[in-house]
Structure 1
Amino acid sequence: MDRICERLPDVFNIAAYFIEGSLSRGHSERIAFYYRDETYTYRTVRSYVRRAATVLRQLGLERENRIAILLPDSPELVFAFWGALWAGAVPVPINTACTIDDIQYIIQNCRAKVLLTSQMWHEKLSEIKSEFLSEVLLVDGEEPFRSRLDQTSKEATPARTSPNEPAFWLYTSGSTGRPKGVVHRHASMVVSAEHYGKDILGLHENDITYSVAKMPFAYGLGNTLYMTMAVGAASVLSDAANAFDIIADLNHYQPTVLFGVPSTYASILAVREIALLETTRLRLCLSAAEQLPKTIWTKWFQAYGYEICEGIGTTELLHIFLSNRPGECQPGSSGFPVPGYEVQILNDQGYPVTIGEIGTLQVTGESLMLGYWNRLDETRNVIYGHSIRTGDQYRCDAEGFFWFMGRKDDLFKINGQWVSPFDIEEALLQHESVLDVAVVPQGDAQESLPYVVAFITLKTGFTGSPELEDSIRKLAKACLPHFKAPKVIHFLEKLPRTPTGKIHRKALVNLNASVPVRQIV
């Protein structure tokens, strides 16, 4: 297996690698980022990044010190993130979809010396409880961060870091507890950019990418920040959060590559008749973060004529390691291993399973994290040498396609048989009224027998009723074995999701226990 990291020099700064590399390839006057009505060339980005490094050093941010960045996708986030790396410091972007409590925890946990945020967020955080924080920079107000950069003439030289030292942290979504700080080294971005961005997607300098996932999310960081810079392409910086705003962005910027998530594709399809999407320049549609239902894949292809190339990645491996190939998609699958990654499915004893058998996914690749910050036991529980056991349950078919069956704690038994929620969700999505759906198990207090509970968000024009429940349940029984049909159906305005957009199944289990229901046996 080709090892990219072995080819990197002993002195290696990832910010300088991408930014100086773009200029050396003649991209200095090409647009790197679109933001609202503004554009930023690679030359402009380089100047702001170097000045950001100077400002951060003047504030006392030293090598390996952390800077927390709590911002939506914006030029200031880009300049601060690369500027910190340029200075040898460690940027820690924080997802603005996190709860206030989790944001406070992350700032304290990562021991950030500097926080860059907005006045609004600073007020929301009230008093930040961290003995390590010495400076709060704001992007607005009397002395905004951009003004400091504009007033700085000195442009710092890059720190002489190594490819293997900590470069940046990303926090997991924390759906099963407090967020975990995932520590990545300087070399990690190169691996993802080469193997996925270039080898799988064929990104090139004329591409414009648009990512629904934001930069504090590992998927969004690659889509928007470094994979495009690796080839001299452009990215759109946007904080759009609903289907109408995303469609408006897509129509305005006309990207060639759309990095989506399943719920976004479903939402765009749901408003198709009232919000026209122009796709004349689009060449690739991608999806990650959670399982893409085959129903959504098919409807998207029928509506717009584009495959959705689904893949899977983790924060611990930085980006995608399993992916469908453009022109060779198998709807519902995660595709094949990305070049540079070895992917196996193992049983509980740690041995490879046979074709078609379900087991735990183990991945080996150079973009593997250094570990979880201050969580030694949890790190050792998932890392085996150069490999990580993700906890995802998978099977591989005879053609080599990998199929996601859920997290280990997502699977449940009904009538003594293991059930994946995705099979049931796929069936329910075929009903004309269903926009979004999540399935969880629930035990019966009297019989102590588990049964299926479905949480459903309806399309515009449909209203929850006993008659609609019966109609949905009738479809489920026609498509699935009788025991997989939902015994309980809840209609919700919106499904609860983690900050990275994944369905929060544990929250749904708790919700079911507290809501009166109409059960049909």
Structure 2
Amino acid sequence: MGCISAQLPDIFNVAAYFLDGEVAQENSERIALFYQEETYTYGQLQQWVQRAARSLLMAGIERENRIALLLPDSPELVFAFWGAIWMGAVPVPINTACSVDEVRYILQDSRAKLLVTTEDWQAKLSPITSPFLQHTWLNTGETPLLSQLEQLPATAITAATSRDEPAFWLYTSGSTGKPKGVIHLHQSMVVCVEHYAKTTLGLRRDDITYSVANIPFAYGLGNTLYMPLAVGAATVLSDAINAFDIVADIQRYQPTVFFGIPSVYANLLAIHEIEPLNPAGLRLCVSAAEQLPESLWYQWRATHNQEIYEGIGTTEFLHIFLSNQPGACKPGTSGRPVAGYDVRVVDDEGHSCAVAEIGNLVVGGESLMGGYWNHLQATRQAIHGSTMHTGDKYQCDAEGYFKFMGRKDDLFKVNGQWVSPMEIEDVLHQHPQVLEVAVLPESQAEERLTQVIAYITLKAGNPPSPELETQICRFAKQHLPHFKAPKTVQFVDALPRTPTGKIHRKSLGVVHS
């Protein structure tokens, strides 16, 4: 396929590419968005985006200004995002699962000139202390944003941006410190479309995609905002908040491609007896964000006769660079490298690791970020030429499948031997009463020893008890080497998670050794 970016013109606006290109024009009468009772065709989508672009220009927004978008997945978010890029500004979508402090930090750090949000969020943030913010657009019941945009003509000149200049920012989840602004270029989305959406998944015109990951999350941004547009497909904008809502949405919209995360697959299986999912219309089930337990993969296939195509990506690479594929799926792994990406496991000196040896994941590819905003040292530590050290620990087997072993800070030693929490968690997921689990080390200060502790949420109808703790520990000892088996089980109502849905291990309050 060659270098994707080199095939794009120097003057290139990615909003115009997706909304005014050949695919969009050919599908102008076809549905692009489903949202509650509303639908929007490709032609209507382009008109709304141009209204949003014109409105930004009228508000005094200039090229390269940052525009903060703090909205749930909705038409308003889609129109504002593409409208900003259309007129040359830089949208910064913010996950509504972020805390108030995180949102305040992002507003100040990004120097956003305009905030588009809801009345509820404005109240939470009041007073907004960012000295850079000059305007706030509210989407309220009394004055919905769409009603304001509807008054404007659907015409706006496309900014003559470069393929190499920033198009949008995404903020990291902040699980290892304050969120960092990841700068992505106009060419980045096209790279992900060609290598993953088309070549790996084979998305097609008759698909309807449904993503449980929201648009401000890099995974959700691709699943919902631009990958379907690249092939003339449709997507569902959902406000689902639990597994029951997701089942109802799938029944209602009949999507063909389901983009899930491990916890959602677990919850859908947990409610299967009382609210069964009918996956008849689904042709692809995808998982990302964190490692999908192998046992969960087999449960899903046994229940729904569907494979889950697991992959892994990062905010810094915008979307997935390791993936399982139809006809070549290996449960318990992140799959093989997506076309166009160079993925290796190396030791601390940068030498390639042997088969099955745990090492550091290094990835190279055209969708790599331009850098972290205002974090020069972090950028230089992460990026080495055209490659990035992701901070993940991986091993690669003899067939070329990559297996996630944890973040670099997740691995720990017990009895002098390295332990990956993922291996233990996968075994514990096989226990019939376990819904979710997170494994961490616990330092025994008096004995100067490290032992394994498991934090577990139970399936509905299974109350915690000392007897169940003993049973789970015994189960682990039967399936794991003695030193890897948890010595303690802590039952919790829910595992803490980052705004992007990953387990926030440090919030469990365990001292890492």
TM-score w.r.t. length of structure 2: 0.98
Which residue of 2 is the match for residue 74 of structure 1?
74
1:281 aligns with 2:275: no
1:264 aligns with 2:261: no
1:445 aligns with 2:455: no
Indicate how the Cα distance of structure 1 residues 375 and 512 shifts in structure 2: closer, same or farther if over 3 A, else same.
closer
1:434 aligns with 2:471: no
Indicate how the Cα distance of structure 1 residues 113 and 198 shifts in structure 2: closer, same or farther if over 3 A, else same.
same
Which residue of 2 is the match for residue 517 of structure 1?
none
Please give the alpha-carbon distance, in whole angstroms, between the structure 2 residues aligned to 1:512 and 1:376: 28
Listed as ranges, the gaps of 5+ residues in structure 1 are 514-521
Query: Residue 24 of structure 1: CA displacement?
Result: 5.3
Q: Deviations over 1:70-122 (max 9, x none)?
A: 01100000000000000100000000011110001001110000000000111
Which residue of 1 is the match for residue 229 of structure 2?
229
Please give the alpha-carbon distance, in whole angstroms, between the structure 1 residues aligned to 2:142 and 2:475: 59
Query: Residue 143 of structure 1: CA displacement?
Result: 3.3
Indicate how the Cα distance of structure 1 residues 245 and 154 shifts in structure 2: closer, same or farther if over 3 A, else same.
closer
8 Å CA contact 1:256, 1:281 repeated in 2: yes
8 Å CA contact 1:440, 1:509 repeated in 2: no
Which residue of 2 is the match for residue 302 of structure 1?
302
Please give the alpha-carbon distance, in whole angstroms, between the structure 2 residues aligned to 1:482 and 1:377: 42
Query: Residue 509 of structure 1: CA displacement?
Result: 3.1
Please give the alpha-carbon distance, in whole angstroms, between the structure 2 residues aligned to 1:361 and 1:224: 27
Q: Secondary structure at the match of 1:230?
A: helix
8 Å CA contact 1:344, 1:352 repeated in 2: yes
User: Which amino acid letter does the alignment assign opposite residue 498 of structure 1?
Assistant: T
Matches within 5 A, 1:21-36: 21=21, 25-36=25-36
TM-score w.r.t. length of structure 1: 0.97
Which residue of 2 is the match for residue 193 of structure 1?
193
Indicate how the Cα distance of structure 1 residues 500 and 415 shifts in structure 2: closer, same or farther if over 3 A, else same.
same
Query: Residue 58 of structure 1: CA displacement?
Result: 0.7
Please give the alpha-carbon distance, in whole angstroms, between the structure 1 residues aligned to 2:352 and 2:233: 40
Which residue of 2 is the match for residue 518 of structure 1?
none
Matches within 5 A, 1:465-504: 465-504=465-504
Point out the more displaced range, 24-33 or 172-181.
Answer: 24-33
Q: Deviations over 1:40-59 (max 9, x none)?
A: 00000000000100000111
Q: Secondary structure at the match of 1:6?
A: helix
8 Å CA contact 2:69, 2:92 repeated in 1: yes
Q: Secondary structure at the match of 2:231?
A: coil
Q: Deviations over 1:226-254 (max 9, x none)?
A: 00000010000012121111111111111
8 Å CA contact 2:355, 2:397 repeated in 1: yes
1:343 aligns with 2:333: no
Please give the alpha-carbon distance, in whole angstroms, between the structure 2 residues aligned to 1:454 and 1:240: 29
Please give the alpha-carbon distance, in whole angstroms, between the structure 2 residues aligned to 1:44 and 1:154: 9
Matches within 5 A, 1:68-217: 68-217=68-217
Q: Deviations over 1:108-142 (max 9, x none)?
A: 11000000000011111111110000000011154
Please give the alpha-carbon distance, in whole angstroms, between the structure 2 residues aligned to 1:478 and 1:24: 57
Please give the alpha-carbon distance, in whole angstroms, between the structure 2 residues aligned to 1:426 and 1:357: 19
Indicate how the Cα distance of structure 1 residues 103 and 233 shifts in structure 2: closer, same or farther if over 3 A, else same.
same
User: Which amino acid letter does the alignment assign opposite residue 252 of structure 1?
Assistant: R
User: Which amino acid letter does the alignment assign opposite residue 303 of structure 2?
Assistant: A
1:389 aligns with 2:389: yes
8 Å CA contact 2:365, 2:386 repeated in 1: yes
Query: Residue 474 of structure 1: CA displacement?
Result: 0.6
Query: Residue 510 of structure 1: CA displacement?
Result: 4.2
Point out the more displaced range, 372-381 or 145-154.
Answer: 145-154
Q: Deviations over 1:400-453 (max 9, x none)?
A: 111111111000000100000011111111111100000010100211211111
Residue-pair matches, total? 513
Query: Residue 276 of structure 1: CA displacement?
Result: 1.7
8 Å CA contact 1:23, 1:43 repeated in 2: no
Which residue of 2 is the match for residue 519 of structure 1?
none
Indicate how the Cα distance of structure 1 residues 76 and 22 shifts in structure 2: closer, same or farther if over 3 A, else same.
farther
Please give the alpha-carbon distance, in whole angstroms, between the structure 1 residues aligned to 2:120 and 2:86: 28
Please give the alpha-carbon distance, in whole angstroms, between the structure 2 residues aligned to 1:147 and 1:25: 26
Which residue of 2 is the match for residue 404 of structure 1?
404
Please give the alpha-carbon distance, in whole angstroms, between the structure 1 residues aligned to 2:209 and 2:426: 29
Matches within 5 A, 1:456-471: 456-471=456-471
Q: Secondary structure at the match of 2:378?
A: helix
1:380 aligns with 2:380: yes
8 Å CA contact 1:413, 1:419 repeated in 2: yes
8 Å CA contact 1:22, 1:231 repeated in 2: no
1:333 aligns with 2:333: yes
Q: Secondary structure at the match of 2:46?
A: helix
User: Which amino acid letter does the alignment assign opposite residue 345 of structure 2?
Assistant: I
Which residue of 2 is the match for residue 255 of structure 1?
255
Please give the alpha-carbon distance, in whole angstroms, between the structure 2 residues aligned to 1:498 and 1:263: 13
User: Which amino acid letter does the alignment assign opposite residue 152 of structure 1?
Assistant: L
8 Å CA contact 1:395, 1:405 repeated in 2: yes
Please give the alpha-carbon distance, in whole angstroms, between the structure 1 residues aligned to 2:294 and 2:461: 24
Please give the alpha-carbon distance, in whole angstroms, between the structure 2 residues aligned to 1:292 and 1:25: 38
Indicate how the Cα distance of structure 1 residues 22 and 138 shifts in structure 2: closer, same or farther if over 3 A, else same.
farther
8 Å CA contact 1:313, 1:320 repeated in 2: yes
Please give the alpha-carbon distance, in whole angstroms, between the structure 2 residues aligned to 1:241 and 1:24: 31
Please give the alpha-carbon distance, in whole angstroms, between the structure 2 residues aligned to 1:145 and 1:511: 47
User: Which amino acid letter does the alignment assign opposite residue 374 of structure 2?
Assistant: N
Please give the alpha-carbon distance, in whole angstroms, between the structure 2 residues aligned to 1:206 and 1:436: 35
Indicate how the Cα distance of structure 1 residues 217 and 512 shifts in structure 2: closer, same or farther if over 3 A, else same.
same
Note the aligned Cα RMSD (angstroms).
1.3
Which residue of 2 is the match for residue 60 of structure 1?
60
Query: Residue 36 of structure 1: CA displacement?
Result: 0.5
Please give the alpha-carbon distance, in whole angstroms, between the structure 2 residues aligned to 1:392 and 1:512: 17
Query: Residue 273 of structure 1: CA displacement?
Result: 0.2
Q: Deviations over 1:256-275 (max 9, x none)?
A: 00000000000000000000
Please give the alpha-carbon distance, in whole angstroms, between the structure 2 residues aligned to 1:208 and 1:322: 23
Q: Secondary structure at the match of 1:115?
A: strand
Which residue of 2 is the match for residue 365 of structure 1?
365
Listed as ranges, the gaps of 5+ residues in structure 2 are none
Query: Residue 154 of structure 1: CA displacement?
Result: 5.0
